[in-house]
Structure 1
Amino acid sequence: MHPDMKTTLLFLFILLSNVAMAQIAETYAEKLGYPKGKKVLIIHVDDVGMSYESNQGAIKAIRNGIANSLSVMMPCGWVPGFVNYWKENKDLDAGLHLTMTSEWKDYRWGPLAGKPNVKGLVDPEGAMWRSVADVIKNASADEVETEIRAQLDRARAMGFEPTHMDSHMGTLFATNEFLERYLKVGMQEKIPVMFPGGHNTAIQAEEKMIAERFQMTQTIGKQLWDAGLPVLDDLENTSYGWKGPENGDKSEKALQKYKTEKYINAIKALKPGLTMVIMHCTIHSEVFPHISDSAITREGDYLAMIDPELKKYIEKESIILTTWREAMQRRQKVK
């Protein structure tokens, strides 16, 4: 082979390799048209509809703070209270927090599909099982899909069209069969689903994800993208474990400072791309501690969201805030 030909082929090989690497490195945020190298965040409040305090915490975290998305637990008692607010405030980015468990001792709910249709989702008290492990043990994938569709149906019956869907307590990620049904409904209904299918840096660190599992996330991410849905590059899901200052100070000031620092450090550690940051926000009340023992961490989340210091950090770092609605609108424009 002529030396010049060898040089040309080597050049082409290097060029093609660089193109391939660039394609691999491209985040889903970039595919959606966000600037390269930017952190793009959906700051998301779970458990809306669970209680009055949950509704107010989420709404105030968005209206008075930097949170910008939420999802609703359709089987719970305070869903009408939120949906009635949403009907007058449809700019809110609001999805479904698909719920297959009922974890609290004295405050419980059952499946919307009805016990005869999803017997495996119902415990001896007539409510949903308290733990994910019990759902895995007793419920079939068919029952899980039936309940997903029942929760979507109730939302639509109330005039509430969700911007996205995700999973309460991660139950729908607990088995491949449950995950398949969750993804299936999202793709069929053209509703974005929470699924980290990108570089997954934060979620890999949290879950100690093995190579085989990571490869599966990449395959599903491509599948969702090809179905016309936006895909997350990563998921930050550690805030529920931030229980409060180590010195035990539970004052609002101390709790806010503690949680704000935790969020700043977590966001600082994120890699560029579209990341959903998950939290649970409630306002303070005498009642909520009787519902859940998580009142302190939830109040802390709310206080962090309305902290000017966190907003200042987001702005200083030129971090982009987006919503599931905007992500879907951008996806619809990508060929």
Structure 2
Amino acid sequence: MKINKLTLLLAASLLAIGAHAQETYAEKLGWPKGAKVVIFHVDDPGMSYSSNQGTIKSVEQGVATSCSIMFPCAWSASFVNYIKKSNPNLDAGVHLTLTSEWRDYRWTPLAGFQNVPSLVDNEGNLWHEVAQVVKNGTADDVEKEIRAQVERALRMGLKPTHLDSHMGTLFAHQPFLERYIKVGAEYQIPVMFPGGNNKLLKECLNLPVVKKLKAEGKWQEGMKLPDPELTKSSTAVGQKIWQLGLPVLDDLHTVSGDWKPSTPNPSPEEWGKYKAQQFIETLNAMQPGLAMFIVHSSDITDAFKHISASGGSRYADMLSMMSPELKAYIQSKGIILTTWREVMERRKKVK
């Protein structure tokens, strides 16, 4: 069979398109093909003194490379002061907060509860649950509030390295997501969004389904579950964010808070070692690309028990970030740790 030049050129073009389609965002940002590039990210500094101390230990003594601050909360100013006085190069973003989830410890919107009435309950506090924000909140009020939180960071002298979403509220409703991207593009601040392979994210989002099937005795290893709703449009959303000049993640891991040893009443050290091992196994399983791993590190004080019963898990998150075994594994496997600041600097260099 004779193959003409046009056929060869067409085949080469199709191969090139296929290779480009498989290119990770890490590769687009200049990291080598096949590299695993990771941001270990601490959520919730600013929420409490314990959260601040846990974040500080995780980044100063551990493998954590980034964090994001809850600006409506009482301890946010203290954490910004720590950055300005002691760690000016800390990778710190705005943990855009539209919920106030605890029973007794509550906070109000920075825009003022009179100015964003759809975002608050009858006490004037932000809603407890994501579903309540989706049901009652308007996109205009959401945009007004997230702008207020970014502006507070800037007024305090902090240039945020990125934006992300507390409890994922901004990813739960398309109009909210659009305003999130709009604000990030306007300020040219990266918006955390996973638009790549999302292998780990799909596993995280499917975890409740797996737990339910196991409880009902219907789970079988290797069972294929449908893609979660968020990941169905994530490729297109990621491409849109990239075209706006902002970086995009290949993957996101969110469920370290659910990790706990099966042994009853584990010690903090046992719990921390267990989580570190889980991170090692997850890093081993992740596909090449740029991934963010979320933790909620807290160095627990007696006062924290009046906020939440999650103290044991949060303390174990902090210990896992400080784990020598996890640090040694990262080094031995050549896993690259990065920050949102570096990611944005790389994005600026890409045409």
Pick one of 142, 145, 159 that aligns with 1:144: 142
Q: Tell me, in whole angstroms, the C-alpha distance in 1 between the residues paired with 2:325 and 2:317.
A: 14
Return 263-272 or 47-56, whichever deviates more: 263-272
Pick one of 309, 324, 332 that aligns with 2:340: 324
- 1:83 partner amino acid: V
1:178 shift after superposition: 0.6
Question: What is aligned with 1:86?
Answer: 83
Q: 1:211 to 1:114 in 2, by over 3 A?
A: closer
Question: What is aligned with 2:256?
Answer: 239
1:212 shift after superposition: 7.4
Q: Tell me, in whole angstroms, the C-alpha distance in 2 between the residues paired with 1:226 and 1:121.
A: 31
Output the TM-score relative to the length of structure 2.
0.91
Output the TM-score relative to the length of structure 1.
0.95
Question: What is aligned with 2:53?
Answer: 56
Gaps of 5+ in 2: 207-225
1:303 maps to 2:319: yes
Mapped contact 1:280–1:302 kept (Cα < 8 A)? yes
Pick one of 206, 211, 228 that aligns with 2:245: 228
1:252 shift after superposition: 2.4
Return 197-206 or 114-123, whichever deviates more: 197-206
Number of residues paired by the alignment? 331
Secondary structure of 1:334's match?
A: coil
Question: What is aligned with 1:24?
Answer: 21
Superimposed CA distance per residue, residues 200-237 of structure 1 (whole angstroms, 9 cap, x where no aligned partner):
11112332564875452111111111111111011011
CA RMSD across the alignment:
1.4
Mapped contact 2:43–2:295 kept (Cα < 8 A)? yes
1:264 maps to 2:286: no
1:266 shift after superposition: 1.4
Correspondences of 1:120-199 after superposition (within 5 Å): 120-199=118-197
- 1:331 partner amino acid: R
Mapped contact 1:249–1:255 kept (Cα < 8 A)? no
- 2:273 partner amino acid: K
Q: Tell me, in whole angstroms, the C-alpha distance in 1 between the residues paired with 2:238 and 2:96.
A: 20
Mapped contact 2:250–2:290 kept (Cα < 8 A)? yes
Gaps of 5+ in 1: none
Q: Tell me, in whole angstroms, the C-alpha distance in 1 between the residues paired with 2:266 and 2:228.
A: 40
Return 249-258 or 169-178, whichever deviates more: 249-258
Secondary structure of 1:117's match?
A: coil
Q: Which runs of 4+ in 1 moved over 6 A?
A: none
Return 164-173 or 120-129, whichever deviates more: 120-129
Secondary structure of 2:302's match?
A: coil
- 1:322 partner amino acid: T
- 1:188 partner amino acid: E
Identity of aligned pairs, percent? 53
Mapped contact 2:196–2:235 kept (Cα < 8 A)? yes
Mapped contact 1:75–1:112 kept (Cα < 8 A)? yes
Pick one of 44, 56, 60 that aligns with 1:47: 44
1:250 shift after superposition: 2.8
- 1:74 partner amino acid: F
